[in-house]
Amino acid sequence: MSSGKINVSVENIFPLIKKFLYSDHEIFLRELVSNATDATLKLKHLTSIGEAKVEYGNPMIEVKIDKDNKKLHIIDQGLGMTAEEVEKYINQIAFSGAEEFLEKYKDSAKDSGIIGHFGLGFYSAFMVASKVEIITKSFKDEPAAHWSCDGSPEFSLIESDKKERGTEIILHIAEDSLEFLEEFKIRELLTKYNKFMPVPIKFGTKQEALPKPEDAGDDYRTEYKEVDNIINNPNPAWTKQPTDLKEEDYKAFYHELYPMQFEEPLFNIHLNVDYPFNLTGILYFPKMSADLQIQKDKIQLYQNQVFVTDNVEGIVPEFLGMLRGVIDSPDIPLNVSRSYLQADGNVKKISNYITRKVADKLKSLFNENREDFEQKWNDIKIVLEYGMLSEPKFYEKAGDFVLYPSVDDKYYTLAELKEAITPNQTDKNGKVVVLYASNKEAQHGYIEIAKEKGYEVLLLDSPIVSHLIQKLEADNENLTFTRVDSDHIDKLIQKEEEQISKLSEEESTKLKTVLEEIVPKTTYTVQLEAMDSKAAPFIITQPEFMRRMKEMSQTGGGG
């Protein structure tokens, strides 16, 4: 048929492709399987509208290693290409894409991170192959075509005798990329990028046990048959309607997504929006400990069921970075730098949408089953508290479901708390004083004294609690938080008349002097007011503001 020179402004683009995509060269397989998937789905569409009068059947994609000949095959049963289409789509269009790449690469060379996500599509094959062949037969009644190119701008295009519809891509794996002939490597890549793609992908075969016959005797030995090894689930949960899924389905999908994760998620949030952008997904709240353990199972970002990255920074609000699950959107610009991403209006909208959706879900969980929500509080509070501090949109809604537990496991919303403590815990300036402990054991004595006086003591023990308190105080003029071991007793109006110490004045002064010798006066106060308490003969407190100053300087300033 023809041969020629690919029309491109640089002599040879391939060294460039190799060099600049090197860090991420494994994505070639994702790109080729994506093309095979597109070709299959295009055919599905054409047959459904009657434009392609062929049997669609049950097409699959096959990935095959030919180690002896150092070749990797990607075979599909999609719509195929005529010779003319190969000219058009492979020689011209793809190279205009490559030129665009060069155009983009000019001003982003400093930021090498972006190139990893720049889909060069078909031509990324040259990152690992010294020669690439395309053998393709269109669904149209035309002869098959055979294109081949050895990485220079020269290519050849001849007729082929391929009979079956579809496309076979053959990569002659380059000497420096022989790892891509290893079964485990290809399986790893398919699992990483293609696990949820919409067309079945076959990679080798596997043994499957045959059902045991009814009349099998005691000496029956399981028989096996060889079946296709399909590596993907073409219909992952997030592509379905929430109404079609049960709790078990969500849990099963969680384990499918994170096979090494044995704990159950606490709850899930199904995202499903098609206006003003397209986005689907499922987010899970995992059980979380307060020490913010570094987590490797992260939210995964997909584009039309193709894995893109698990770096969702900028797309998912930061406080939800601790969640797990998937987000799938064709509307997220993936081939641009992070700074662009953050400035992109659509991306900001997506982030806001996710925030709102998470807040709504929390509210409904709280309303539907408060008891259950309270039980989960300890495992989710760190995310929510962090969200209140970092995301104004979330803060606005948090009043509906954020809880403030007491040391006795009573859970209040902020409004409920205010109502409960106002009568008994208002200070001389008319401020409502919220007493809290940060450590139940260490502050046990103080807690007991406060309780004796009829005060409610909260247990606020998250690492970011001092920042949260600052924010709550700033936004609630007549509210002030005081830790139970600080000088609160001075501040609160005593309901009963001044209580009389059982010690004489002389004895009291003596005791105070002795104690003050042991305790550094500059930072602590000895109070004998607790004398009447059964829990403690006296208490040593520290002014709240001093403790806070110290705390803030330790946790890195205001929130």
Please give the residue ranges that form the binding site for ligand ADP (CB under 6 A).
31, 35-36, 39, 76, 78, 80-81, 89-90, 93-94, 97, 121-122, 167
Stretch that binds Mg ion, among 119-127, 189-197, 313-321, 467-475 (CB under 5 A): 119-127
Q: Is 408 annotated as a binding residue?
A: no
Residue closer to ligand ADP by CB (options 47, 424) is 47
Position 411, amino acid? Y
Q: In angstroms, give the least distance from the CB of 551 to Mg ion.
A: 54
Residue closer to ligand ADP by CB (options 39, 308) is 39
Rg (the chain; Cα; Å): 33
State yes or no: residue 121 binds Mg ion (CB under 5 A): yes
29: tokens are 């397989």
Stretch that binds Mg ion, among 1-9, 18-26, 34-42, 45-53 (CB under 5 A): 34-42
Q: Is 96 annotated as a binding residue?
A: yes
Does residue 126 contact residue 17 with C-beta atoms inside 8 Å? Answer: yes
Q: Using alpha carbons, select from 25, 8, 11 the residue that is nearest to residue 127.
A: 25
Closest residue by beta carbon to ligand ADP: 121
Q: Is 31 annotated as a binding residue?
A: yes
Residue closer to ligand ADP by CB (options 148, 533) is 148
Q: How many CB atoms lie within 10 A of CB 251?
A: 15
Does residue 167 contact residue 122 with C-beta atoms inside 8 Å? Answer: no
Does residue 487 contact residue 433 with C-beta atoms inside 8 Å? Answer: no
128: tokens are 């690992």
Residue closer to ligand ADP by CB (options 85, 516) is 85
Q: Is 62 annotated as a binding residue?
A: no
Q: In angstroms, give the least distance from the CB of 79 to ligand ADP.
A: 6
Q: How many Cα neighbours within 13 Å face the side chain of 96?
A: 5
Determine what percent of the chain falls in helix, strand and coil, rounding each to the nearest 5. Answer: 40, 20, 35
Give the C-alpha separation, 338 to 341, whole Å.
Answer: 5
Question: Which residue in the set 35, 77, 351, 355 belongs to the binding site for Mg ion (CB under 5 A)?
Answer: 35
Residue closer to Mg ion by CB (options 122, 203) is 122
Write the DSSP assignment of 29-69 as a string of letters: HHHHHHHHHHHHHHHHHHHHTTSS-S------EEEEEETTT
Q: Is 167 annotated as a binding residue?
A: yes
Give the C-alpha separation, 109 to 152, whole Å.
Answer: 23
167 binds, among Mg ion, ligand ADP, none (CB under 5 to 8 A by kind): ligand ADP
Does residue 195 contact residue 232 with C-beta atoms inside 8 Å? Answer: yes
Q: Is 81 annotated as a binding residue?
A: yes
Q: In angstroms, give the least distance from the CB of 262 to ligand ADP.
A: 38
Q: How many Cα neighbours within 13 Å face the side chain of 453?
A: 31
Does residue 32 contact residue 155 with C-beta atoms inside 8 Å? Answer: no
Stretch that binds Mg ion, among 40-48, 115-123, 357-365, 505-513 (CB under 5 A): 115-123
Stretch that binds Mg ion, among 4-12, 117-125, 291-299, 373-381 (CB under 5 A): 117-125
Residue closer to ligand ADP by CB (options 36, 492) is 36
Q: In angstroms, give the least distance from the CB of 35 to ligand ADP.
A: 3
Q: Is 97 annotated as a binding residue?
A: yes
Residue closer to Mg ion by CB (options 121, 236) is 121
160: tokens are 């082929």
Q: Is 274 annotated as a binding residue?
A: no
Stretch that binds Mg ion, among 28-36, 64-72, 345-353, 432-440 (CB under 5 A): 28-36
SS (H, E, C) 360-392: HHHHHHHHHCHHHHHHHHHHHHHHHHHHHHHCH
* Annotation: binding site for ATP: 31, 35, 76, 81, 96-97, 167, 338
Interface positions with Mg ion (CB under 5 A) = 35, 121
* Annotation: binding site: 31, 35, 76, 81, 96-97, 167, 338
